[in-house]
Structure formats: structure tokens, C-alpha cells
Amino acid sequence: MSRSVIVTGCSRGIGAALVTEFNQRGYDVGGCSRSEESMSQLGTDPRFRGVDVSDDGQVARWSRDLLAVGMNPDLIIANAGVINEPGAFWEVGAAEFDAVIDVNVKGVANTARAFLPGMIEQGRGTFVALSSGWGRSTSAGVAPYCASKYAVEGLIGAISQDLPAGLCAVSLSPGVVDTRMLAVAFGASEASQAIDPDLWAKPAVDFLLSLSSADNGQSLTFSR
């Protein structure tokens, strides 16, 4: 079966690695990031577009424009995310807290709202929202990020119950991967000991492609 794949937050890290791996395997791939320059280097609009996933209107327009060129994805990976600078919660400003919630929670919600109706219409598809170990446990210094990922877990759990038979929505913790967010949380030296995103993506794509309606509602972890 031909697969059409969308990855949000694909200008670097896990998102960029997934786009590269799907492309190398010949899948029809699209993606977005707030970095318009990065998107123009990956491909042509609308398949690759500068989109702020926290803006519902931008995501909705992107979805409509993709459909207009014949791209109705059946695998959506809501990967876009940010993390706060580590610090006690009362030291994190309201603007920084809002940014984490807007991207990590509203971004997933906006992506689901824009793309799930098309998947429902075609009667198949998988929606994957990137979560975290910090969506299932907590640590000092990252309260905003923990709050956002716990929200993603709850949101996806409820969405999965709204879906008709044949579709799938899951939350996925990617394990520990050497990304910019990991470096913010633990420092560049410690982050560099984690697996490289490109090496992570190769088996991760196999895992993502294996997901089916039998997995609907699951809170999953993939760790290489």
C-alpha cells in the first residue's frame, strides 16, 4: 500500500531524520517547521512549508493546500516541540511557559484537527504524537515541559476513543536521542552520548510503519 507521510517540526533532530529516512525509502513525504528557509531546502511548497503549528489557521491552510495537490496523508507524525530552559517553575516566565504549551499541546491539537478528518474520510490512517518520558514521570527544572507532555498523553488517549474503527492515534516516547532539546535539558556533552537521530530513525521508521488500528490508544515507547 502506498503511504503518504507528514512530519511536523522537521527542520532538525528527530523530525529531519524521519523525513530523510522516509524519502530514502521512496515514500511521499511532507513536513513543516517555523523555519521557512529549512523547508525550502527540503522540497517545494506546499509539501514542505514554513508553518507555526501553534497557529490553527496556518495548519488548516497547509492541510487544505496539501489536499489540493493530491496529498492526503495516512501517517501523521506530530513531532514539533520545544522545551523550557531548566529552572524552578517559579523562575520560568509566563511567556516561556506559554510557548511550551502552545507548540507542544496546541500544536498537536491543531495538527489533529486539520488532518484527522481526511484520514477518517479515507477510512484508514495513523496519527502519532511525540511524547516523552517526561509525559509519564517528572523531574525538577522541566515543569512546563512535563505539563505539556502529560497533556499530549491525555489528549491522544481521548482522541483515540473518538476515532472510528480502522484508524489509530498513539503517543510515542522516542527514548533518549541526541537533539537540541536534550542538550538544553542536560547539556551538550551529556546529550552527545545519546543515539544520533539518523541512526534512531532507521529502525524507528520500521516501527512507525508497523502501527495499525490494533495499537489505537496506546502510550508507546521506541528506544533503539
Task: Report CA dihedral (205, 210, 214, 218) to the nearest 10 degrees.
Answer: -20
Q: According to the model, what pLDDT value does residue 140 have?
A: 97
AA letter at 151: A
Of residues 196, 221, 220, the one with CA closest to residue 17 = 196
Locate 172 and state its grid cell. Answer: 510515542
Q: Is 131 helix (H, G, I), strand (E, B) or coil?
A: coil
Q: According to the model, what pLDDT value does residue 1 have?
A: 55
145 has catalytic annotation = yes
Segment 187-210, tens digit of pLDDT: 899 878 888 999 999 999 999 999
Q: For position 10, which CATH number holds?
A: 3.40.50.720
- Provide the domain limits for residue 161: 4-221
Segment 92-145, tens digit of pLDDT: 999 999 999 999 999 999 999 999 999 999 999 999 999 999 999 999 999 999
pLDDT-derived band at 179 (thresholds 50, 70, 90) equals confident
Q: According to the model, what pLDDT value does residue 138 have?
A: 97
Catalytic-role residue among 48, 145, 150, 200: 145
Q: Model's pTM, two decimal places? A: 0.96
Q: How many domains does the chain have?
A: 1
Average pLDDT, the chain: 95
